[in-house]
Chain A
């Protein structure tokens, strides 16, 4: 499974600890991991699209589809969104992780 270009900006330690502490079947944990990855992916891509000019959307999404791991995507975003895009992604990811933890904690 390829790395995604923003993986280094997402701190998953708390999530991993939370999941580790939850008792459950492995397939449920697998499903949860998949959902967490989907949520982070959708949230981060949404943030980027909100900040990126619409005429760049297609190019950006095409690059993500073709080379989801490429660090040049961050360079592209620095040019077309701004130099602080990594901080913004990091902030958004932290926010998403906190929401996910709340979802996990509320029932356990």
Chain B
């Protein structure tokens, strides 16, 4: 059977080559693709295999994993981070409180469930999380998150300039919402953090996307989210930096390499079921990053 599968792969490779030759018969595409783009596109698709096949899984496995359970959260109406007492309990309460409420499959929460979940999150982190904010709601609040690559933060940015988890690679194009900074001169720590803790949600599949995508694109770009791994209680405040993943991947969300590391979802299949809700933070007081690391 394995041999047959290899033969199928061979056939598909032939078909791909035929189509590539046809594509390159257009002079513009020849000029365009022979530089690097077609190769980059293939590399994007193969990134997971490259990580696994080049021995980089080992590197990922040796990366530090979340172990400390301190917490720094901001309550609505306050302006400074405040330590929450009983550090271990925060994570445990998130775990136990959410585990008994959440189905273990991709789901859109009912208003009743959402209210209970939001209450647990607020009581344990001080963060106002919302399943629905400004009449916006994702198609899934609970879904599978996948390990994403780094994103270009400004024109001319390179993977080498990203200081952590470079083995994740970098996506070939800009994120769906553009660069984080217009140029390297305006790249501040804020934008550095935005890429470090970015997440990906399926805006393309929103019911009103094709009708209102201009408004929605602005609304969702760098929107602050809270992502919680209900299996271990680890949580990260992140911002929406890209759109996806495609439905056929079986995943509903994506997370930056750092986000996935802090959720402890950077090993093995690098995928897991998480809760993803909006953060209601109109005054921008809640910092991006792990909240109970």
Which residues of A does B touch, CB under 8 Å? 1-4, 7-8, 12, 16, 22-25, 27-28, 30-39, 41-43, 45-46, 49, 54, 57-58, 61-62, 65-72, 99-100, 103-104, 106-108
Stretch at the interface among B37-45, B107-115, B279-287: B37-45
A108–B7 Cα gap in the complex (Å)? 9
Judged by DSSP, the binding face of A is helix
Q: How far is the CB of A59 from chain B (nearest CB, A)?
A: 9
Q: How far is the CB of A66 from chain B (nearest CB, A)?
A: 6
Select from chain B the residue with minimum beta-carbon distance to A31.
B9
Give the contacts of B20-40 with A (CB-CB under 8 A).
Answer: 20, 22-23, 26-29, 31-33, 37
Whether A2 contacts B243 by the Cβ 8 Å rule is yes
Q: How far is the CB of A54 from chain B (nearest CB, A)?
A: 7
Whether B246 contacts A7 by the Cβ 8 Å rule is yes
Select from chain A the residue with minimum beta-carbon distance to B245.
A1
Number of A-B contacts defined by CB within 8 Å: 157
Whether A3 contacts B204 by the Cβ 8 Å rule is yes
Whether B12 contacts A39 by the Cβ 8 Å rule is yes
A38–B21 Cα gap in the complex (Å)? 13
A71–B205 Cα gap in the complex (Å)? 11
Q: How far is the CB of A45 from chain B (nearest CB, A)?
A: 6
Whether B133 is near chain A, meaning CB under 8 Å from some CB there, is no
Whether A36 contacts B12 by the Cβ 8 Å rule is yes
Q: Which residues of B contact A57 (CB under 8 A)?
A: 26-29
Interface residue from B4, B7, B29, B254 paired with A1 (Cβ < 8 Å): B254
Q: Which residues of B contact A104 (CB under 8 A)?
A: 8, 12
Whether B160 is near chain A, meaning CB under 8 Å from some CB there, is no
Q: Which residues of A contact B31 (CB under 8 A)?
A: 58
Q: Which residues of B contact A42 (CB under 8 A)?
A: 16, 19-20, 22-23
Q: How far is the CB of B57 from chain A (nearest CB, A)?
A: 12
Whether B166 is near chain A, meaning CB under 8 Å from some CB there, is no
CB-CB under 8 A for A69 and B204, given A28-B5, A34-B45, A45-B23:
yes
Whether A67 contacts B173 by the Cβ 8 Å rule is yes
A57–B146 Cα gap in the complex (Å)? 34
Interface residue from A38, A45, A107 paired with B7 (Cβ < 8 Å): A107
- Chain A to chain B contacts (Cβ below 8 Å), 18 pairs: A1-B44, A1-B45, A1-B148, A2-B173, A22-B1, A27-B49, A28-B5, A31-B9, A34-B42, A34-B49, A38-B45, A42-B19, A61-B32, A62-B32, A69-B204, A100-B15, A103-B12, A103-B15
